[in-house]
Structures are given as C-alpha cells and as structure tokens.
Structure 1
C-alpha cells in the first residue's frame, strides 16, 4: 500500500500581508475543539487551566456551544483530559482537521471585514471576546474580536484558500503588502 502524503497546512505558502493599518496572516493549524453542553465559558476556561491548556482560548459559537482554540496541536492525552474534566456537563468534538484560523488586525481591520460581512464591528457593539457565526461574502465563518483591533476568522478547511485570497485582495487595497511567509514548524 502506498504511503499517504504528509499533511500540509492548507494555507502554507500564503504570504503575510502588512501595512501601517492592516495585517493579515494565517494562524498555525494547532487545535480547535468544539465544546457542546450545559456549561459556561468560565467553567471551560477553568477546566483548560486544570488540564494545563492555559494558552488556549474560549469563544462562544452558539447556544451552549464554544470553540477552544490554540496554536499547538494537542496530544490524545490532552484532549482526553479535557473531555474527562468536562464529563457530565459537556463534550468535545475535535475540529482541528476541518477548520482553519485566519488573523486580521490593525486600525483598518474592521473596515476590511465590513467589506464582506454585515456584522456591526464597532467596539461598543462587538467588544473583545464577542463572536458571531456569519458570512464573509458567500463563505460561512466564525468571527471573533480577540483583543483591541484584532480579529480571528474560523473557516471550513475547504473554503480557507478562497477566503484568504479574498482577504488578501482587500488587505492590498488598504495599503498592505506582502512581507513573507509564516513559519509552519509542523503545527
């Protein structure tokens, strides 16, 4: 039986775009866990600390649903430790293989994103930590304001290249320029 090809990050080779007011970059394909159940963001965050996943973040993804995201791949024992910690209140579904995260930041980030989505991104209406399942053009995404003028987009893997190319064109129109490729260090 022939060997299967080594997995390659879907946005490997895509350049980082940066200007004075905008930055666009693909994030490492670390982990993305979908948590569903009768729990809260705070309880999930406490469980993450308890199982030593303190660099992971929690984002609302719908009624009694959250995404736990991070830049590093998790071992099976780490996933199981979190599943055990959530046992009885919620369960997890690993989405790491099927979704891609993209980072957009800078003072023009909201302006760039408003060209493709109808979400009101004014900080009073969409403050840090807020997430929305929405469309960017015709592509379904989860949009999160992570901090200040930083946003993270989570998109299905099969739509990641198309979305990134659309965001590239918008970033270039706002003064961004290609500054290099990200380092993929296997994650």
Structure 2
C-alpha cells in the first residue's frame, strides 16, 4: 500500500512579500480551533490557561463563536482537555487542517485590505484585538487586527492560494503608489 502524502502547507512555496509600507506573509499553520457555545472571551482565555494552551489568541467569529489561533500545533490530548473543560457550555472544533492564516502588516496594511473588504479598518472603528468575519472580494475571511499596523486573515484552505495571490497584486500596487511594483520577495526564514 502506498504511503499517504505528508501534510504540506498550502502556501509553503510563497515567499514573504514586502515593500514600502507593506509586508505579506503566510503564517505558520499551527492551530486554529473554533469554539461555539455559551461562554465568553474571558472564559475561553481562562480555560486555555487551565488546559496549558499558551500563546493563543481568542477572536470573536460571530454570535457565540470564537477562533483560537496560535503558531504551535496542539496535541489531540490538549484539544480534548479544552473540550472536556467546556463540556456543557461550548463545543470545540479543530479547524487547523482546513484553514490558513495570512499576515498583512505595515503602515499601508489597512489601505490594502480596504480594497477588498467593506469593513472600516480605521483604528477608532477596528482597534487592536478586534476581529470580523467578512468577505474579501468573493472569499470569506476573518480579519483580525493584531497590532497597530498588523492584521491576520483566516481563510479556508481551498481559497488560501487565490487570496494570497490577490493580496500580492494589491500589495504591489499599494506599496508603489504608481501602479508599478516596488514589492520584493524575501526568502522564507528571514
């Protein structure tokens, strides 16, 4: 019987793109859990800490829904511990295999993203820590502000390549201001 192929990041061949005021990169596929139920962001953060899940962000993803995102892969045992702790109030669904995270950062990041979504990304309307599920063009994404000029997009794996390529084109235009590309590719790992 042939060996099954290894799981490979859908954006593994994408180099980091950066130019004046913009940086675009595929983030580690680590973990992405969807939690649905009667809990709160603070309650989820407490349960994550109790389960030993560190360096994770809890982001609203709709009515009584959250994404828990982080760079490290989680063991099935840790996910089960979280699920057990939330039993009776919320359900946990591991989405790590089906969704991809993309980072967009720099002073022109909000301007770039505003070309594809109707969400008001001005810091007064969309402060750090805020997240929204929306469309970017025709692709459903969750947009989260992770820093003053930093955003993270979560997209279904099957749309990740298309979204990334669209962002590369927009980054080239936003970074130059002239319609010509000043965006350079940086090797992974730098």
Q: TM-score, normalised by structure 1?
A: 0.94
CA shift, 1:28, in A, is 0.6
Q: Given that residues 102 and 152 in structure 1 are in contact (C-alpha distance below 8 angstroms), is that contact kept between their aligned partners in structure 2?
A: yes
Aligned to 1:177: 184
> Separation in 2 of the partners of 1:180 and 1:136?
26
Asked if 1:96 is matched to 2:96, the reply is yes
Structure 2: gaps of 5 or more residues:
176-182
Considering Cα pairs closer than 8 Å and 6+ residues apart, tell me whether 1 or 2 has the greater RCO.
1
SS at match of 1:134: strand
Q: Given that residues 15 and 182 in structure 1 are in contact (C-alpha distance below 8 angstroms), is that contact kept between their aligned partners in structure 2?
A: no
> Separation in 2 of the partners of 1:51 and 1:182?
31
SS at match of 1:100: strand
Structure 1: gaps of 5 or more residues:
none
Aligned to 2:50: 50
Asked if 1:139 is matched to 2:144, the reply is no
Q: CA RMSD in A?
A: 1.1
Number of aligned residue pairs: 183
Aligned to 2:27: 27
Aligned to 1:107: 107
Q: TM-score, normalised by structure 2?
A: 0.93
Q: Given that residues 111 and 174 in structure 2 are in contact (C-alpha distance below 8 angstroms), is that contact kept between their aligned partners in structure 1?
A: no
> Separation in 2 of the partners of 1:11 and 1:121?
25
CA shift, 1:54, in A, is 2.1
